[in-house]
Structure 1
Amino acid sequence: MSLEAGKTAGVVGFIRSPQLPTGLFRIAPGVPCDYALEQASVVLGCVHSLLRAGLVDEEGDMMWAAYYLSEFAKAIIDDVGLGMNRVKP
């Protein structure tokens, strides 16, 4: 099974809260998995840069930005996994 065959499921949400039954945002359904994973890699690269800068400068806003972006990237990857499991070999 190739990554190109799968599409995102569109069910994983992110920026969760105990007060919300689902995440504030949700991954769009039907995005090709290879493209979604490429975007997750870009987001994780940004997270890495923010963490490095935030730790050196002791900048809390950068750390929070990295936290939310990492949750976003994780949601993309989790949704890709669900989408790929829907594809029949």
Structure 2
Amino acid sequence: MKNPFENGSGSAEVVPVDIRRITGAEFLALGMSQIAYMKSVMHDGEQLVAIHAADGTPMAVADDEESALDAILEHEMIPTLLQ
């Protein structure tokens, strides 16, 4: 899928986009690489914290919430809360 923020040369440079003219798929992808959320999970009887991309794709597992938050911030992502 084409990144609506690319300038055509493959550069990550941000260019203005008329958001009223992007496709549904492009709209859903906005922020996908910048937003992450944490969720408690059980694995082999151990309570861990899973880190997911905005679309729910699993990205990593941490021992605790503090480590998960540190990992999200270290990768210059924005942590968000689930409702």
TM interval, short-chain normalised: under 0.3
Per the normalisation by structure 1, the TM-score is 0.25
Structure with the higher strand share, 1 or 2: 2
Which structure has the larger Rg?
2
Per the normalisation by structure 2, the TM-score is 0.26
* Larger relative contact order (CA 8 Å, sep ≥ 6): 1
Structure with the higher helix share, 1 or 2: 1
